Amino acid sequence: MSVLPIRVYPDPALKEQAAPVEQLDYNIKKLIENMGETMFAAQGVGLAAPQVGESCRVIVIYLPEKKDFSSYMALINPEIISAEGEVVAEEGCLSARNYRAQVKRAQALKVCYLNDKGAPCELTARDLLARVLQHEIDHLNGILFFERLSRIKRDLIRNRLRKLAKAAAVD
Ligand code: NI
């Protein structure tokens, strides 16, 4: 297992529509393991493949009830099949460090996906888990959390992140 570098905004990998996984082969299994490792190293609660530069529909989610390195769940080709309610809460992203904002999300949802064995599964989630799932599935569609904000707030965060990226490139 290895910790992968996390892409940060405005890396173009974050803007792509990720491709569905056609075959759960060795490379995808390896990617899932590495994504789990990378998420823990970064102390994140979720990670999507485009954040490590892989344009495929794979996400990993931290499961707080377990306390070791197996405490994550992989969802392959996840799709939201129903959603209800609305709740506003603070969110951040490993690809936009130092920025957090209040984002409106569905309160509960049902997601279908393939698990890491390739079996079709369904999951009902609410509150924090529902929020993390929506955030990570957005990544698969090239959407970052601040793009869900009002235009003024969105542009403010975008501009600051672009400046940070430029400053980092100069260093
Ligand atoms: Ni994120």
Q: Where are the domains of the chain?
A: 12-170
pLDDT at 168: 83
Contacts of 134 (CB under 8 A, 6+ apart): 80, 105, 106, 109
Domain 12-170 matching CATH 3.90.45.10: the answer reads yes
- Phi, psi angles (nearest 5°) of residue 20: -60, 150
Is 136 in the active site?
A: yes
User: What distance in angstroms lies between residue 145's CA and the mean position of ligand 1's atoms?
Assistant: 7
HSE at residue 81, side-chain half, CA atoms within 13 A, is: 11
HSE at residue 144, side-chain half, CA atoms within 13 A, is: 28
User: What distance in angstroms lies between residue 92's CA and the mean position of ligand 1's atoms?
Assistant: 7
pLDDT at 167: 87
pLDDT at 71: 81
User: What distance in angstroms lies between residue 19's CA and the mean position of ligand 1's atoms?
Assistant: 18
Which one from 37, 54, 91, 136 is the annotated catalytic residue?
136
Low-confidence ranges of the chain (pLDDT < 50): none
pLDDT at 87: 97
pLDDT at 98: 82
pLDDT at 116: 93
| Beta-carbon neighbours within 5 Å of ion ligand 1 | 93
User: What distance in angstroms lies between residue 104's CA and the mean position of ligand 1's atoms?
Assistant: 15
User: What distance in angstroms lies between residue 170's CA and the mean position of ligand 1's atoms?
Assistant: 25
pLDDT at 140: 98
End-to-end CA distance of the chain: 30
